Amino acid sequence: MYPLIRNRRLRASESIRKLVRETIVTSDDFLVPLFVVEGKNVKEEILSMPNYYRMSLDYLEKEVKELWHMGLCAILLFVKVDDTLKDNKGTEALNTDGLMQRAIKTIKNACPEMLVMTDVALDPFSSYGHDGIVADGQILNDETSEVLAEMSVSHALAGADFVAPSDMMDGRILTIREALEDEGFLNTGIMSYSAKYASAFYGPFRDALDSAPVNIKNVPKNKKTYQMDYANRFEAIRETQMDIDEGADIVMVKPGLAYLDIVREIRNEVDVPLAVYQVSGEYSMLKAASEKGWLDHDAVMLEQLTAIKRAGANIIASYFAKDFIRILG
Ligand code: PBG
């Protein structure tokens, strides 16, 4: 007796493995998150995100040119604003000369073809560290959506190609789409964080932007009334379908690795491009383990990125983008 089918024939050498490989990650797949701060000549490492930086606009310009030359063509922009500019309504987010608006212009001047997507949520601008307006211990849904729509228009006006609402208010995609249309931004896209879970993997990001919910009486201590319960899957499909119906061009699952079952389900259900956000905690875990010599950084990184794409992601938002290009050699 012998096995009629020997699957190992297709694994016998690197050449045959390459020939039959089903999933290949390329530089085209990446969306590169960047953190911007006020000032000049600032490039500060984020404590809980080794080798990842917040940078002032002059450094941003250099970084963007470097990314472009590396073949990385899409950026997801976040800003860290000074505490003195924060309030409950995220007023600073609408400042036409605000940090986000200047960052968009800086990138478009330096590198016009670089695709710019902007984070739309109140948390970096909120004195309470919430994605929406807080009142009586609640996050106000519809009032927040109105601010997000104004914020989106302001980003479009500054030159953003896509806005990326990361807040999880109900109905905000429609409110944003209508506001963009009303202002004539017919071609500004929306990448919706459609299935965004209330995850402890966001910790390092909240350090990066100093955007964690504050510990004050009558302010919710977490984001569980708007971000999704990680125990749920049907809800992810419902959320995603809703955002598509409201006008989202691209949908997203976030975080990545612990949610690849959701990625596959959504990929099978919908036909718009699907992004996956490999979040800060996923990045920092691997950096920490490899610093200790416990994991092979590059091998684990490639395995994770490939798994995300294999699960069905068309776009990967990842802090590993430059590391990935480096290992391509
Ligand atoms: C908030 C926002 C978060 C991230 C992106 N946008 C954090 C949060 O919801 O608290 C997390 C990204 C990451 O962890 O890398 N609007």
Predicted ipTM? Answer: 0.97
Question: How remote is the CA of residue 118 from the centroid of ligand 1, in Å?
Answer: 13
Query: How high does pLDDT run on average in the chain?
Result: 97
Q: Is pLDDT at 1 greater than 90 in this prediction?
A: no
Q: What percent of the chain has pLDDT over 70?
A: 100
Please state which architecture CATH assigns to domain 19-328: Alpha-Beta Barrel (3.20)
Nearest atom in ligand 1 to the alpha carbon of residue 204 is 14
Nearest atom in ligand 1 to the alpha carbon of residue 202 is 14
Task: Compute how many other C-beta atoms are within 10 angstroms of the C-beta atom of residue 82.
Answer: 11
* Pairing outcome for strands 138-140 and 250-254: unpaired
Locate the domains of the chain by residue range. Answer: 19-328
Contact (CB, 8 A) for 66 and 113: no
Per the confidence metrics, is the pTM higher than 0.95? yes
Of all protein residues, the one whose alpha carbon is nearest to atom 12 of ligand 1 is 279
Contact (CB, 8 A) for 253 and 176: no
Question: How remote is the CA of residue 17 from the centroid of ligand 1, in Å?
Answer: 37
Of all protein residues, the one whose alpha carbon is nearest to atom 7 of ligand 1 is 202
* pLDDT tens digit sequence for 90-126: 999 999 999 999 999 999 999 999 999 999 999 999 9
Q: What pLDDT, on the 0 to 100 scale, is given for residue 40?
A: 97
Question: How remote is the CA of residue 40 from the centroid of ligand 1, in Å?
Answer: 25
Q: Is pLDDT at 255 greater than 90 in this prediction?
A: yes
Q: Is pLDDT at 134 greater than 90 in this prediction?
A: yes
* pLDDT tens digit sequence for 269-307: 999 999 999 999 999 999 999 999 999 999 999 999 999
Q: Which residues are catalytic?
A: 196, 254
Cβ-based burial of 302 (10 A; exposed 0-12, middle 13-18, buried ≥19) = middle
Q: Is pLDDT at 148 greater than 90 in this prediction?
A: yes
Q: What percent of the chain has pLDDT over 90?
A: 98
Question: How remote is the CA of residue 84 from the centroid of ligand 1, in Å?
Answer: 21
Nearest atom in ligand 1 to the alpha carbon of residue 280 is 15
Of 87, 288, 119, 317, residue with least CA distance to 209 = 119
Measuring from each residue's beta carbon to the nearest atom of ligand 1, which residues come in under 6 Å?
119, 121, 123, 131, 166-167, 202, 205-206, 223, 279-280
* pLDDT tens digit sequence for 173-218: 999 999 999 999 999 999 999 999 999 999 999 999 989 999 999 9
Q: What pLDDT, on the 0 to 100 scale, is given for residue 329?
A: 79
